[in-house]
């Protein structure tokens, strides 16, 4: 038997403060009457919380409402966006993309750091950290509160360490160590596809879904799994490592040492380039096999051939049909276990194929499974990993600054 607990005055204040702050974050500047209407709180309670939040430096008066009314116009209250700053990084083989944002998640500065072939660990790490500091200062912050980093590989939930990243450059580990050494800045490390799934859930194609799978189609394949509104990582951080799925059509099986022979071999960028050549479409690189070229170059060529095929003739249509069939094989294995009801196609190839590729995959998936599954094209764009990093870092910053987050589950305003 459970006993209902009565909220203490301090708990009630924390709940009310967090409720008001979340509304100001989501809807922008609001008047006190608007806050009363949205929260259902009394006039004295709203007045008290606004005074308290102004004293804490989280909320400020930013103007007056434009209403035509007798007497003075109501004051507009808003979050103090520069109360804290945050960063997001997307680490790839060829370099790093970064963004600096304010408390509301608004982008203030961006930068690209190229690694180059055979880049030294210390050089890339130093340039990235230096650029991050410079962009933060340009945005008005001496220290970033939190930085979220998206990287290829598995992130151990117990230790927070990146592992299982195969042949990734050594500078990745060096950069992560340098970021952890930044005094006063918290670091969040997350798998890149997981961050993209966060972006699709919050601002992209799955905003209306609490359960879905993001199928990432780029250099390799991966998945971000969101069930009941929560990102799932698994016991070892390996949820979504679908490159290792044994599937028909590869002629062999994957192993613990590598995903060749798994779904990776059917749908990675090199396989897509080879499939295009088999259908008589333009070769991905004159005189050189896809495997001999840099990852980013192969991905770009695969993206180009898929985009070009959308407006092509019979050979291009046959290529798209076979590509959709390959993708559906991997999606079917995931859906047979999770039954997510929705699959979002992301990554460079998913974006290039758009709604047409999504529709082709959905049709083939319906022939493989009795489970109704909608397939959508991702809409978070090429910056999905960075967008997810900013959202993740922002959630952490606001939990710390706003407080009361755990008290809000299922609660309305406490009176």
Per-residue pLDDT of the chain (415 residues; tens, 9 = 90+): 444 445 688 888 889 999 999 999 989 899 999 999 999 999 999 999 999 999 999 999 998 876 545 445 589 999 999 999 999 999 988 899 999 999 999 999 999 999 876 666 678 999 999 999 999 999 999 999 999 999 998 888 888 888 865 566 788 888 999 999 998 999 999 999 999 999 999 999 999 999 999 999 999 999 999 999 999 999 999 999 999 999 998 989 999 988 999 999 999 999 999 999 999 997 654 444 444 446 668 899 999 999 999 998 999 999 999 999 999 999 999 999 999 999 999 999 999 999 999 999 999 999 999 999 999 999 998 899 999 999 999 999 999 998 754 433 333 334 3
> What is the structure's pLDDT at 165?
53
> In angstroms, rounded to a whole number, what is the distance separating the alpha carbons of residues 220 and 255?
16
| CA proximity to 88, closest of 224, 196, 166, 171 | 196
> In angstroms, rounded to a whole number, what is the distance separating the alpha carbons of residues 8 and 353?
54
> What is the structure's pLDDT at 323?
98
Which DSSP symbol is given to 316?
A: H
> In angstroms, rounded to a whole number, what is the distance separating the alpha carbons of residues 274 and 284?
8
* Contacts of 24 by beta carbon, 8 Å cutoff, 6+ apart: 30, 59, 77, 78, 79
Exposed / middle / buried, residue 55 (Cβ in 10 Å: 0-12, 13-18, 19+): exposed
> What is the structure's pLDDT at 282?
76
The pTM for the full model equals 0.89
Query: How many residues belong to the chain?
Result: 415
> What is the structure's pLDDT at 292?
40
> In angstroms, rounded to a whole number, what is the distance separating the alpha carbons of residues 376 and 243?
20
> What is the structure's pLDDT at 71?
44
Which DSSP symbol is given to 73?
A: P
Residue 360's alpha-carbon distances to 32, 148, 318, 342, in angstroms, are 50, 35, 11, 14
Dihedral (CA of 148, 156, 291, 171) sign:
positive
Helix (H, G, I), strand (E, B) or coil at 85: strand
> Would you say 337 and 329 are in contact if contact means Cβ atoms under 8 Å apart?
no
Half-sphere exposure for 218 (CA within 13 Å, toward CB): 18
> What is the structure's pLDDT at 288?
47
> Would you say 262 and 244 are in contact if contact means Cβ atoms under 8 Å apart?
yes
> What is the structure's pLDDT at 65?
78
Report phi then psi at 255, rounded to 5: -140, 170
Half-sphere exposure for 243 (CA within 13 Å, toward CB): 27
> What is the structure's pLDDT at 208?
97
* Contacts of 149 by beta carbon, 8 Å cutoff, 6+ apart: 88, 89, 91, 176, 179, 187, 188, 189, 190, 389
Residue 148's alpha-carbon distances to 35, 43, 45, 152, 351, in angstroms, are 31, 39, 36, 14, 24
Dihedral (CA of 59, 62, 68, 72) sign:
positive
| CA proximity to 198, closest of 391, 405, 22 | 391
The 8 Å CB, 24+ separation contacts for 367-373 are 368/328, 368/329, 368/332, 369/332, 369/335, 369/336, 371/335, 371/336, 371/339, 371/341, 372/341, 373/331, 373/335, 373/340, 373/341, 373/342, 373/343
């Amino acid at each position: 038997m459970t006993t209902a607990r009565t909220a203490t005055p301090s708990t009630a204040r924390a709940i009310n403060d967090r409720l008001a702050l979340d509304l100001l974050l989501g809807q922008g500047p609001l008047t006190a009457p608007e806050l009363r209407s949205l929260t259902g709180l009394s006039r004295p309670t709203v007045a008290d919380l606004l005074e308290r939040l102004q004293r804490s430096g989280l909320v400020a008066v930013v103007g007056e409402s434009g209403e035509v009314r007798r007497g003075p116009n109501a004051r507009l209250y808003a979050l103090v966006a520069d109360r804290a700053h945050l960063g997001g990084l997307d680490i790839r083989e060829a370099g790093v993309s970064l963004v600096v944002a304010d408390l509301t998640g608004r982008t203030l500065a961006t930068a690209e750091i190229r690694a180059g072939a055979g880049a030294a660990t210390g050089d890339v790490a130093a340039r990235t950290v230096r650029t991050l500091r410079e962009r933060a200062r340009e945005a008005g912050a001496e220290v970033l509160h939190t930085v979220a980093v998206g990287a290829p590989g598995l992130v151990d939930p117990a230790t927070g360490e990146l592992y299982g990243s195969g042949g990734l450059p050594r500078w990745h580990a060096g950069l992560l160590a340098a970021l952890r050494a930044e005094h006063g800045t918290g670091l969040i490390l997350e798998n890149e596809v997981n961050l993209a799934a966060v972006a699709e859930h919050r601002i992209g194609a799955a905003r209306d879904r609490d359960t879905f799978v993001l199928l990432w189609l780029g250099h390799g394949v991966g998945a971000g799994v969101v069930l009941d509104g929560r990102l799932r990582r698994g016991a070892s951080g390996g949820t979504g490592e679908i490159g290792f799925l044994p599937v028909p059509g590869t002629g062999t099986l994957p192993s613990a040492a590598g995903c060749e022979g798994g779904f990776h071999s059917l749908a990675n960028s090199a396989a897509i380039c080879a499939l295009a050549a088999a259908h008589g479409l333009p070769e991905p690189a004159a005189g050189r096999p896809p495997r001999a070229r840099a990852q980013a170059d192969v991905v770009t060529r695969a993206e180009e051939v898929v985009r070009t095929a959308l407006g092509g003739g019979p050979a291009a249509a046959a290529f798209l049909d076979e590509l959709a069939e390959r993708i559906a094989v991997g999606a079917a294995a995931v859906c047979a276990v999770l039954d997510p009801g929705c699959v979002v196609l992301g990554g460079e190839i998913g974006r290039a194929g758009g709604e047409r590729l999504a529709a082709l995959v959905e049709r083939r998936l319906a022939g493989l499974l009795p489970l109704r599954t909608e397939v959508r094209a991702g809409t978070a764009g090429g910056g999905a990993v960075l967008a997810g990093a900013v959202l993740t870092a922002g959630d952490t910053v606001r939990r710390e600054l706003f407080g009361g987050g755990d008290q809000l589950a299922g609660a309305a305003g406490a009176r």
